[in-house]
Amino acid sequence: MSHPATHPTLEKEETSGSSTQSHDRSADAVEEYDLEKGSGKDDDQHATPGAGVGFAASPVIPYGGLVTTFDESAHDRKMKREKTLERTYSVDGRRPPLKVPVAARLTGDFRTLSIQLSTGGLADEKDKKKSQKQALKAISELDWHSLSVDEVLTRLSASTTHGLDSDQVKRRLARYGPNKMSKPPSPWLKKVATYIFGGFGSLLLAAAVLTVIAWRPLGGPNPPPSVLALAIVLFVVNFVSASFNAWQDWSTSRVMASISGMLPSDVTVIRNGERVSVPAVDLVQGDLVALSLGQKMAADMRIIKLDGELKFDRSVLTGESDAISGSIDKTDENYLETKNVVMAGTSCVGGGGLAVVTSTGDATVFGRLAKMSSAPKTGMTTLQKEIFYFVIAISSIAGMLCTVAVIIWAAYLRPKHPDFMSVSQLVVNVVSIAVSFVPEGLPIAVTLSLTIIANKMRQSKVLCKSLSTCETLGSISVLCADKTGTLTKNNMVAVSVAVHGFESNPADATKHIIMETPIGSALKQVQFVGAVCNGATFDGAT
């Protein structure tokens, strides 16, 4: 099939028919394409876009208020192709795609992604996340910082001059409890069961019980004492393993005590119009607390009076060591960012003032965070999973071999050689097979290894919440941190003393002070100035 090549003329007619513009294109720009078989035979057929038929000469394509026409004229060069492609161009580009019937459209290829989840510990994990969200929501709803000083004092029934009286303190202590963080729940029954039956404990305990049964009554009137000795050894091994697990749990439970030690033991408050020092656990809402340099905050408080430039350190909560200037008025809508509240666990590093207690104990921000951090974790670590799978594999192999031994005894030895092995001897042999597969020292070895690591880290002032933390840290190759004042002390100390051209470190300078020399006299003056121009006070708690 051959068609004469044409020079298409691009004619643009506006709707009013006022102007026409023609452009020449080469013959290669226009090709005919058979949309359907035989559609190219009729050159007089005009097809509109979307009609599902072939395109012929002079198709007219409406395009947004413009009419675009392709006028095919004769050309001396001829094209001979079995299939040719016609590209129709408009002023702004190619023509819109043809409208395809709905029945002829290709359906999308949808694939389903299936994810299998283990629902064993999802309930506990959901409860834990729910409690954390509730704690964070409760913190975000605190509004003590947005109230004026008078509104805070009115809500707490406190006075800036008189403070609380003894009756108010007693009532509030009875209602809200002491100012201390409650210990996390400790299900001792569940823990003891885990100590005894965890790991290979259940297998050892079952073997010990079976050995006792093999001794009496299956052992007859004169059972061999070696069977009883084996049972005692198995019980002792199980007891030692359980004791190590209990000791491991006890050593990690001391983290809560270390967190509680971060709070002060005594505070200065105004009660009955007088300044008195009371234990921090006796603080109640509405107490007026005197803030001073170096003091640790025992509760969440709202600042109501400033004495100098009050500054406090929140690094224990935020990780930022930069001192924050105190304020009486609200500086931020966020309770955690505003500067007119001081929180439990933070410390005063400059100035002083007066603050009223708004939250105590677990209701403080420090208490909420400590409660969330000390909540028991669900799930197992990588090392615990590997040990668990190892226990399952060993137990399965031991059980299979014990079953084979019992089958051989029942099917062959018992009928043909009844005196070769009694029931008591069978039980002892089966127990021996099972125990031979058990690495009794594995749990103890793992616990001891992690404990040694934890003790080494404790010597470096790093407290591990649990022994599994040592496993996680052992997987770290590089640890980068930039927390001056959080991981480091951030204490400004004298490292050098220079007088009269003499320069020395503080240790050597102490030796020169006792000498009756000009340098010694100068060093005494430096020591005197440092002692007088100093706002530090002695705190027996810290």
Active site residues: 482
What does the alpha-carbon distance between residue 32 and residue 88 come to, in Å, rounded to a whole number?
Answer: 10
How far, in Å, CA of 44 to CA of 40, rounded?
10
Q: Which residues pair with 394 in a beta bridge?
A: none
β-pairing verdict for 347-359 and 341-342: unpaired
Q: Report yes or no: 263 and 298 within 8 Å, Cβ to Cβ.
A: yes
State the sign of the Cα–Cα–Cα–Cα dihedral 416, 420, 422, 428: negative
- Reduced to 3 states (helix: H, G, I; strand: E, B; else coil), residue 416 is helix
Spatial neighbors of 251 by CB under 8 A, at least 6 apart, are 451, 454, 467
Question: Which tokens belong to 43?
Answer: 């050159």
20 strand-pairing partners: 13
Token representation of residue 362? 């677990």
Give the pair of three-digit tokens for residue 147. Answer: 């109230």
Distance separating alpha carbons of residues 540 and 313, to the nearest angstrom = 20
- Cα of first residue to Cα of last residue in the chain, in angstroms, is 102
Q: Which two tokens stand for residue 469?
A: 């933390």
β 2-4/78-80 pair status? antiparallel
Rounded Cα distance between 442 and 237, Å, is 12
Q: Which two tokens stand for residue 4?
A: 């004469």
Angle at 332 between CA 326 and CA 338, to 5 degrees: 35
Helix (H, G, I), strand (E, B) or coil at 304: strand
Handedness of CA 197, 200, 202, 208 (dihedral sign): negative
